[in-house]
Amino acid sequence: MPKKNQTLGEFIIENQADFAYSSGELSRLINSIRLAAKVVNHEVSKAGLVDIVGAYGETNVQGEDQQKLDVYANNTFIQTLTNREIVCGIASEENEDFITIEGCNGDHKNKYVVLMDPLDGSSNIDVNVSVGTIFSIYRRVTPVGTPVTQEDFLQPGNQQVAAGYIIYGTSTMLVYTTGRGVNGFTLNPALGSWYLSHPDMKFPEDGNIYSINEGNYVHFPQGVKDYIKYCQEEKENRPYTSRYIGSMVSDIHRNMIKGGIFIYPKSAKATDGKLRLLYECNPMAFITEQAGGKATDGFSRILDIKPTALHQRAPFFCGSTRMVEKAEEFMAKYGS
């Protein structure tokens, strides 16, 4: 049972036995992520002071301006995971193709692949709004000792062995699951240690916060428009509160603590939605379900979607079960 204020290191050791089939590799993998998170946090926390904020002058595979911190975070996580020789391959929002870790077709028997969004919400960096790192971990499906293939990355989210996020906010937190609930650790930057501040996190079954970019209202499917009007009508415990930070990790983290729903639906402008299935929706869906919430594409479970492409997008409805179910009722009226 998690004990409040124990360190992340103590927690990992205490729960080592829980990492099914793990020979300690998954523990070492989580440990390498917490190290990289501290390094990135150090840079994010001083972004306004040094010339590291602002566009890097290149664009990533999404055609988005790469903020310098995006590139820094991507390089830091890739380097840390590579140095520890724990994973066989890495896929990142910032890289068009997946990365094969050298030696993977050699003698070491690394069996995990990591997919990540190294700095989600990076457009908020320049305006000092919290951003996050999202990661998703799978056991490879191709034979150990051979080069990883796309098949190792295109697994449905229900095959994840671990997933988590780091939120670089008023305090920096690491929140993750290995399939046995969700625990949140807060960094004490003075000591460089993570402390279990949020043991056994649970999504409230219902809530009164809805998070969606209403600026896109005219482009939304009718079911989403009807749900927004439902949230706004003066009836029962409504109108709900509208809260939208524009940084998914922050929006979902707040809703997991207070209760709420986050929606990034498809629209006339974004026919599959905006968020990436493999390294945004799947990890956040795994965490949400492990915390007792629900995550769908408006119709079916996110974690059951069989991916066909590394950077594919998915509509995303995520949060308190009762709220997601109500939104799905409106979506079902129109069937799309």
Known binding-site residues equal 93, 117, 119-123, 213, 244, 274, 280
Task: Tell me which of 76, 183, 247, 321 binds ligand P6P, using CB under 6 A.
Answer: 247
Name the minimum Å distance from CB 274 to ligand P6P.
6
Residues annotated within a binding site for substrate: 120-123, 213, 244, 274
Name the minimum Å distance from CB 143 to ligand P6P.
35
- Interface with ligand P6P includes 123 (CB under 6 A)? yes
- Interface with ligand P6P includes 248 (CB under 6 A)? yes
Residues annotated within a binding site for Mg(2+): 93, 117, 119-120, 280
- Listed in order, strand segments (DSSP E) in the chain are 55-59, 65-67, 87-92, 99-100, 112-120, 131-139, 162-168, 172-177, 182-188, 193-198, 209-211, 241-242, 261-264, 294-296, 316-319
Residue 306: strand pairing partners: none
How far is the C-alpha of 227 from the C-alpha of 324, rounded, in Å? 10
| CA proximity to 136, closest of 165, 172, 109 | 165
Stretch of 4-12, 65-73, 117-125, 230-238 lying at the interface with ligand P6P (CB under 6 A): 117-125
Cβ atoms < 10 Å from Cβ of 7:
15
Contacts of 301 by beta carbon, 8 Å cutoff, 6+ apart: 285, 295
How far is the C-alpha of 111 from the C-alpha of 87, rounded, in Å? 6
- Interface with ligand P6P includes 213 (CB under 6 A)? yes
Q: Describe the strand order of the beta sheet including 241-242 as a list of residue ranges.
A: 241-242, 209-211, 261-264, 316-319, 294-296
Stretch of 3-11, 119-127, 142-150, 193-201 lying at the interface with ligand P6P (CB under 6 A): 119-127
- Interface with ligand P6P includes 118 (CB under 6 A)? no
Of 36-95, binders to ligand P6P (CB under 6 A) are none
Contact map string, positions 273 to 312, toward ligand P6P, x by CB under 6 A: -x--------------------------------------
Q: List interacting residues with ligand P6P (CB under 6 A).
A: 120-121, 123, 213, 246-248, 264, 274
